[in-house]
């Protein structure tokens, strides 16, 4: 069923409960003073360095995670969707602790006392994060209990070992003997054995055994290569793998008494130190980082509620964590197991399946004839929007055509993240085999994708392709490709500038935009950019592209200030920005100044937002909202009214200090009037969403927007899906399938990638 087919009650109060969830969320985890001293007669007297004007980055991120958790709490969502979001919260919080909490601990250990823009030390942030996280994990566990009960009412049961019949227990004992036991390695801690190494994010069983005279601790790792939810027969019943192991420990520890068992889980710091300046090469540095991560300091210890004090104390001592870093939890102690429920096959418990659609501009293009595809782009720019448009029949087709077309001279691409079985990489390899010049920028420092990218670098180099690995001091985050083609009237440049990665899997679940164009200025700008990747110096000037760290901050500042100048002159002035994060204090300050000048500002910010909207005399004209739904909002769109001559941009950069100053980013103008209308529809759909949108208050709290009585439900994701479907020509094969009630799937969606940042 679709989201809109799930019951919506417009009479429910905006600040009341929605089933087991609530529609309000505090943005900081602590009370926030909303009073700011402002002299309304002298706007210039406002101290924009005042910490009270800025929200904390880390607590803002946790506020986003609470909005993600709300998707699991919200009874209007189908049950499997709710279970999936419980798993997404675990995945996101794991990454948050590895990256953000790990980084804070490094600052604390180094004695850093520098204050954040909101006036907090690293220690103060760490304390606030642990407090807010503890509340979030407790709420997640309560939600799981409700979701588990609701699934059971629908015949999908996650049962305990004692709920099984004797016959089922015997069958599972055989399963354990044949399929699980050979994978287990018990590690005992005693005078003859050191405390075992506990790998990052591994789920472990703490086992206390006695031989009659002494009690010993052993660790048993729950294997990741066995299903965590073990199916029982043909019906939709499951038992947890750890329960199967616990019930059969006598086979792992014969001739001793099993005194007690409990679960624990360790999170390690991913922010290991890297010295790029002294590394012999980036590849050596990345390989060293991967090694260090395995043994990095522990930043979080999760233990089950039934953990004995002696086990807890031992873990605290041996892992070197403080009591503050120990989280005693009910529930699953790693909800990612619930991702497997997506394969239940119960359509009434899931969202309506979505198949990315063919782009209407490419619907009539022969995929075997590159001339047709390039002619379509040359005739007029093309705007693609994933996952509404198919990645395989747009971006992938573009690269495939370039690889096989005899008229193509060269292909250049910047790869930040890509799929493990990337067809994009295969196309580039095929192009090289066909005699084309191929240059690929692969960012080795893409966090958590370093190993995957290293593998692709080696494969590309084995094929004789020139590969650039990145650059010292900067991370390359731009999403760009360039095709150089010989045509009758000379060499033509075909450019792709996008907001998302060349990743076929995330293109099914991330909302991303991309521009395909033959604009000569954009093409020449990309030539400069790719020359930097393979050379050594960035250009200071570009014809049309905004490129960080060169001209992007300067140009965005100029554009915001221009709107402020228009407002002061009584002209039309408006700024609309859709992005993932608004963290950079200087850009926040520019928006405050523009608001004080009278500029109407709408910000659709998925996650982190330092800015506080609605402050009297400072940000009264600013609205901030966030959308959380079936797809991860990932596109960046920038609109400036410019007194009736509007400008639109899309690209890879958020307004974060790292994006503007420490990364190579690319943002392109969109000038075609029809494509601007498409972007305006995207912005309007987001701002008018009354189903998945959250409005931010001045104190940093969020309230979910709900339809007023009699008002139709408007989900931006649903609207864009319907728009993409309607644009497919009636005579296209996918239209025939849909007309008969079928859903043509591009391939199954891997939900484990959903809602992870590409940072």
Active site residues: 477
User: Cis peptide leading into 753, omega within 30 of 0?
Assistant: no
Contact yes or no for 166/159 (Cβ under 8 A): no
Phi, psi of 343 (to 5 degrees): -95, 20
Contact yes or no for 664/476 (Cβ under 8 A): yes
Q: At what angle do helices 79-96 and 122-153 cross, to 10 degrees?
A: 160
User: What is the C-alpha separation between 108 and 123, in angstroms, rounded?
Assistant: 6
Tell me, letter by letter, the H, E, C secondary structure of 10-64. Answer: CCCCCCCEECCEECEECCCCCCCCCCCCCCCCCHHHCCCCCHHHECCHHHHHHHH
- What single DSSP character describes residue 193? B
- Give Dmax (Cα) for the chain: 90
User: What is the C-alpha separation between 187 and 193, in angstroms, rounded?
Assistant: 8
Angle at the Cα of 538 from the Cα atoms of 533 and 542, rounded to 5 degrees: 110
User: What is the C-alpha separation between 200 and 415, in angstroms, rounded?
Assistant: 27
Phi, psi of 390 (to 5 degrees): -65, 130
Given CA atoms 324, 326, 328, 333 in this order, what sign does their dihedral have? positive
- The DSSP secondary structure of 460-524, one letter per residue, reads HHHTT-EEE--BTTBEE--EEEEEEEEETTEEEEEEEEESS-S-TTGGGTEEEEEEEE--HHHHH
User: What is the C-alpha separation between 637 and 651, in angstroms, rounded?
Assistant: 7
User: What is the C-alpha separation between 479 and 489, in angstroms, rounded?
Assistant: 28
Contact yes or no for 231/220 (Cβ under 8 A): no
3-state secondary structure of 179: helix
Return the structure tokens found at 439.
Answer: 């240059």
Closest to 584 (Cα-Cα) out of 647, 516, 641, 655: 655
User: What is the C-alpha separation between 717 and 633, in angstroms, rounded?
Assistant: 9
Return the structure tokens found at 5.
Answer: 């087919």
CA 241 → CA 89, 200, 326, distances in Å? 21, 19, 24
For the chain, helix (H) and strand (E) counts, in that order, are 19, 30
Return the structure tokens found at 266.
Answer: 């360790």
Which residues is 438 bridged to in the sheet? 411
Closest to 718 (Cα-Cα) out of 645, 627, 602: 627
- What single DSSP character describes residue 359? P
Phi, psi of 696 (to 5 degrees): -95, 140
Residue 170, number of CB atoms within 10 A of its CB:
11
| Residue 587 CB burial class (10 angstroms; 0-12, 13-18, ≥19) | buried
User: What is the C-alpha separation between 7 and 99, in angstroms, rounded?
Assistant: 38
Return the structure tokens found at 668.
Answer: 């392109």
Token pair 């069983």: residue: 205
Q: H-helix or E-strand containing 75?
A: none
| Residue 638 CB burial class (10 angstroms; 0-12, 13-18, ≥19) | buried
Phi, psi of 500 (to 5 degrees): -125, 165
């Amino acid at each position: 069923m679709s989201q809109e087919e799930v019951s919506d009650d417009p009479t429910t109060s905006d600040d009341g409960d929605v089933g087991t969830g609530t529609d309000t969320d505090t943005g900081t985890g602590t009370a926030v003073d909303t009073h700011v001293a402002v002299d309304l007669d002298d706007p210039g007297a406002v101290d924009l360095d005042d910490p009270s004007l800025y929200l904390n980055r880390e607590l803002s991120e946790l506020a986003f995670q609470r909005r993600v958790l709300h998707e699991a709490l919200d009874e209007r969502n189908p049950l499997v969707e709710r279970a999936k979001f419980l798993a997404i919260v675990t995945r996101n919080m794991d990454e948050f602790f590895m990256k953000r909490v790990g980084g804070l601990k490094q600052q604390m250990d180094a004695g850093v006392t520098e204050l954040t823009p909101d006036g907090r030390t690293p220690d103060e942030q760490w304390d606030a994060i642990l407090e807010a996280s503890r509340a979030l994990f407790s709420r997640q566990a309560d939600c799981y209990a409700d979701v588990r009960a609701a699934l059971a009412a629908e015949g999908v049961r996650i049962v305990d070992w004692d709920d099984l019949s004797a016959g089922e227990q015997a069958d599972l004992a055989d399963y354990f003997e044949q399929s699980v036991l050979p994978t287990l390695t018990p590690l005992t801690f005693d005078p003859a054995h050191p405390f075992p190494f506990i790998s990052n994010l591994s789920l472990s069983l703490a086992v206390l055994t006695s031989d009659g005279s002494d009690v010993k601790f052993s660790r048993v790792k729950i294997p990741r290569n066995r299903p965590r939810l073990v199916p029982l027969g043909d019906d939709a019943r499951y038992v947890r793998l750890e329960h199967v192991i616990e019930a059969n420990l006598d086979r792992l520890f014969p001739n001793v008494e099993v005194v007690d068992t409990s679960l624990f889980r360790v999170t390690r710091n991913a922010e290991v130190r890297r010295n790029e300046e002294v590394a012999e090469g980036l590849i050596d540095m990345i390989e060293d980082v991967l090694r260090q991560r395995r043994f990095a300091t522990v930043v979080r210890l999760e233990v089950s509620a039934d953990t004995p004090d002696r086990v807890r104390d031992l873990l605290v001592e041996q892992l070197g964590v403080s009591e503050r870093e120990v989280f005693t939890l009910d529930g699953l102690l790693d909800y990612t197991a619930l991702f497997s429920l997506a394969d239940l096959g119960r359509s009434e418990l899931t969202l309506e399946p979505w198949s990315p659609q063919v782009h209407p501009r490419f619907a009539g293009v022969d995929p075997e004839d590159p001339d047709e595809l390039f002619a379509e782009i040359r005739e007029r720019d093309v705007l693609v929007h994933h996952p509404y448009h198919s990645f395989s029949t747009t971006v992938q087709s573009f690269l495939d055509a370039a690889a096989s077309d005899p008229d193509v001279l060269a292909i250049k691409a910047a790869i930040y993240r890509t799929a493990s079985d990337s067809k994009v990489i295969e196309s580039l390899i095929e192009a090289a085999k066909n005699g084309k010049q191929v240059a690929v920028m692969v960012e080795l420092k893409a966090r958590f994708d370093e190993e995957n990218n290293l593998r692709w670098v080696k494969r590309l180099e084995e094929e004789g392709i020139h590969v650039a690995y990145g650059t010292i001091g900067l991370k390359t985050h731009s999403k760009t490709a360039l095709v150089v083609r010989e045509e009758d009237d000379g060499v033509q440049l075909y450019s792709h500038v996008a907001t998302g990665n060349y990743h076929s899997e995330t293109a099914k679940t991330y909302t991303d935009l991309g521009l395909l164009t033959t604009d000569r200025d954009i093409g020449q700008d990309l030539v400069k950019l790719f020359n930097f990747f393979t050379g050594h110096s960035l250009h200071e000037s570009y014809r049309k592209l905004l490129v960080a760290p060169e001209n992007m901050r300067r140009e965005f500042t100029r554009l915001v200030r221009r709107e402020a100048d228009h407002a002061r002159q009584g002209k039309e002035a408006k700024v609309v920005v859709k992005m993932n994060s608004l963290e950079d204090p200087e850009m926040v300050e520019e928006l405050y100044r523009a608001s004080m000048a009278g500029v109407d500002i709408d910000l659709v910010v998925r996650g982190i937002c330092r800015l506080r909207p609605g402050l009297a005399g400072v940000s009264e004209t600013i609205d901030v909202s966030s959308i959380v739904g079936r797809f991860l909002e990932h596109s960046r769109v920038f609109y400036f009214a410019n007194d009736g001559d509007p400008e639109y941009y899309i690209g890879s950069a958020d307004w974060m200090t790292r994006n503007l100053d420490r990364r190579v980013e690319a943002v392109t103008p969109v000038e075609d009037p029809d494509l601007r209308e498409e972007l305006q529809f995207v912005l309007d759909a987001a701002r008018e969403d009354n189903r998945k949108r959250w409005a931010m208050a001045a104190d940093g709290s969020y309230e979910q927007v709900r339809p007023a009585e009699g008002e139709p439900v408007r989900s931006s994701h649903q609207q864009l899906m319907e728009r993409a479907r309607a644009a497919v020509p009636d005579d296209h094969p996918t239209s025939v399938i849909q007309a008969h009630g079928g859903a043509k799937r591009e391939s199954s969606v891997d939900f484990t990638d959903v809602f992870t940042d590409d940072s």
